[in-house]
Chains A and B, each alone.
Chain A
């Protein structure tokens, strides 16, 4: 985005349940020229703040702990302020990795994976894009490009359940499906990610590691 098209920065809201991240992002947003920058650590606080003062753009963490997610908050903010620009930022490669029971992201919202934010310009461009889209009512799925690599919702959910330590039988009970169905799904996942079998490694552990890599919880390093 060229500087000539830049939208004049105004009030921003940063929401994150981690105080350190909250402070860092708030500082970065302020340094990008958005002012004043309001910060909140929960959905309730964020909505309360948004009712008190005018906010042009909101930077929301996807995982806000127990209760509503950043997407729930984004929908609430959009309902209250249709013109608000929304940037959802997370370590998860895509929102589906946090769980399947999520609503779709609001129109025009940007999904930003933290590891791709290599400098403040990336964040600045995303903020500009989010606000610009709302002003122009851009319809492009918020710039969010799922990186599910062709995986179905069910496969992603089974991968998540394997990663949190459930057995195939337990996954079958939770997903209301047969154990053999789960086994086949796990086998598909292993093929999908090219996880080899053999005596020297546990495929289930490697699958869990792949999941956490996608969520940004661990690096790809393997000792």
Chain B
């Protein structure tokens, strides 16, 4: 069972493809080939050959009418409720019989000889037609499922691309919208500040009711913009996505047939009987013809069966066995030639033998090639699905980044930026009231800093230095800091991101302990990344020193980050935490 899922034989055989114009077209082609081959073997004149054409056409039309009748009756609801298998088999065989009877009837009307008409012949035709039609139904069904699966995968890849485009567009839009909204708020705040500066009398009644942006409207605008910019690209992107679908060179299938596929004796025998039984019995008589065909079929069955058994037992020798069996099968043509020449001189010229060998080899490869093609199809889908899965993981990570950005920006806009501005305004009020120009200027500078870079402060750090500074900024107002972070550019991005988190956690642990329990007022942090991805962190404070006590979560964190290579030592004044962070 492959990845297309399993459906019952009834669903596969009696579903949509149990009756199709494609099936009718292929069937008509087979009728034409069969009739024309017989005509050629019978060395008929051009006029006779031309007479056969409308007969074949009529036979095809008769089959077509039969199929239309079926589609209105027994097969009417085949898409919803698959037709029973026995009905499909019976009707498929019947279609072949109808075509044959039409040909016989029309040929006799124009004086052409068919050589058909006996009951046993009709039974054989019924069987062959049923078998061929069912195979064709299954083949179309598989093609359809395979194409649907392929289209679904490509569509998935396209969706990811669309999502990436939308994300990029949304992030840009979000950033610019946020900046615009923040700027608008800051402009309003600036006007308030100026007004307050002018009045500078009353520190009460700070305006806390600045207009809130309508986020639903902004969100809808972003979505619409992103959609409208992306939708027209969909068709083109599907084509681009299809180009990304893995393709295999044709010769690869032949290599796969020889190295991995079994021989198909049943299919070979049926094709052999279908193509040669009539001609052989005509040429050599029923007894000799049947004997020859039976011997050939037994030879095919024996050689293929034995070869398949060997290939199963010794898979490493698959190619050798397959080629050996192929050669053996075709060498049978020589033996057949001897018999034919002995029975009817001139019936097996060299050209005939050559055509037989080439046709036989091609048939062997074709019958075994269906499995190879299915395997290639499945492996291509697996490959593409793997690519999509990796893309999905990356996409999820990028979505999280986007969500973080939106969350941070939103929080900044409604919280920090607004609050800081109000604090600035109040500080300016207070400074104006007290008449201290310096404090007012500082507050204004702070407001300008917010205005210039409202969203920068909360952006996720991309280096060890940024992460350390971010952590220190959280505690910066409670203590003085000196930070020295050595260059980490020699680390690749992945290593830098990974170790940034650990270093940040260690800095926070060291700093919080020094401030909370050591009452430190001054902390020095030195971070030294190494090219192998490790990093030394040293945190020195001027607090009361280590207090001892039972190890806790902080100790566990240091232990985990450093693999045990850390120390906390008392200094004359304060303490020093040294941690060798592992890669």
Contacts and interface: CB of A to CB of B under 8 A. Distances in A.
Contacts of B478: 43, 47, 68, 72-73, 75-76
Contacts of A17: 415
B423 A76 contact: no
Contacts of B426: 36, 38, 49, 52-53
A45 to B, nearest CB: 6
Interface string A87-106: 00000000000011111000
A106 B276 CA distance: 105
B430 A53 contact: yes
B60 to A, nearest CB: 69
B550 A48 contact: no
A173 B423 contact: no
Interface stretch (B87-95, B311-319, B330-338, B510-518): B510-518
A41 B416 contact: yes
Interface in A157-203: 157, 173-176
Contacts of B57: none
B377 interface: no
B477 A67 contact: no
Interface residues of B, number: 41
A44 B457 CA distance: 13
A22 B419 CA distance: 10
A38 to B, nearest CB: 6
A176 B552 contact: yes
B367 interface: no
A35 B418 CA distance: 19
B532 to A, nearest CB: 26
Contact of B516 (A36, A103, A176): A103
Given A17-B415, A19-B414, A52-B431, A174 B553 contact: yes
A210 interface: no
B290 interface: no
A174 B475 CA distance: 24
Nearest to A73: B478
A49 B423 contact: yes
Interface stretch (B44-52, B63-71, B200-208, B300-308): B200-208
B58 interface: no
Contacts of B128: none
B538 to A, nearest CB: 21
B435 to A, nearest CB: 14
B508 A67 contact: yes
A97 to B, nearest CB: 15
A73 B423 CA distance: 17
A42 B416 CA distance: 8
A40 interface: yes
Nearest to B416: A41
Contacts of A53: 203, 426-427, 430
Contacts of B554: 101
A23 interface: yes
A68 B206 contact: no
B439 interface: yes
A73 to B, nearest CB: 8
Interface in B412-435: 414-416, 418-420, 422-423, 426-427, 430-431
B473 interface: yes
A53 B424 CA distance: 11
A44 B449 CA distance: 15
Interface string A1-21: 000000000000000011100
A134 interface: no
Interface in A45-70: 45-49, 52-54, 66-68
Contact of A48 (B203, B430, B477): B477
B51 to A, nearest CB: 85
A20 to B, nearest CB: 9
B427 A44 contact: no
B556 interface: yes
B462 interface: no
A44 B477 contact: yes
B443 interface: yes
Contacts of A19: 411, 414-415, 418-419
B474 A67 contact: yes
Nearest to A35: B204
A42 B415 CA distance: 9
A52 B427 contact: yes
A201 B544 CA distance: 48
A26 interface: yes
Of A39, A54, A75, most buried by chain B (CB within 10 Å of CB) is A39
Interface in B499-540: 508, 512-513, 515-517
Nearest to B521: A79
A43 B204 contact: no
Nearest to A23: B208
A213 B169 CA distance: 43
B553 A45 contact: no
Of A19, A35, A173, most buried by chain B (CB within 10 Å of CB) is A19
A168 B555 CA distance: 18
Given A22-B419, A40-B419, A68-B478, A49 B427 contact: yes
A44 B473 contact: yes
Contacts of B415: 17-19, 22, 41
Contacts of A52: 423, 426-427, 430-431, 439, 443
B303 to A, nearest CB: 63
A36 B552 contact: no
Interface in A123-150: none
A100 B552 contact: yes
Contacts of A35: 204
Contacts of B473: 44
A176 B551 contact: yes
22 contacts: A17-B415, A19-B414, A19-B415, A35-B204, A36-B206, A38-B423, A43-B474, A44-B473, A44-B474, A44-B477, A48-B423, A48-B427, A49-B427, A52-B439, A53-B426, A72-B516, A101-B513, A101-B552, A101-B553, A173-B556, A174-B556, A175-B553
Given A45-B419, A48-B427, 18 more contacts: A38-B422, A43-B475, A44-B474, A45-B416, A48-B423, A48-B477, A52-B423, A53-B426, A53-B430, A67-B475, A68-B512, A72-B515, A76-B478, A101-B513, A101-B516, A102-B516, A103-B516, A176-B555
Interface of B: 203-206, 208, 411, 414-416, 418-420, 422-423, 426-427, 430-431, 439, 443, 446, 471, 473-478, 508, 512-513, 515-517, 550-556
Q: Which 9 A-B pairs have the closest CB atoms?
A: A67-B474, A52-B427, A47-B477, A53-B430, A44-B477, A176-B551, A103-B516, A19-B415, A41-B415
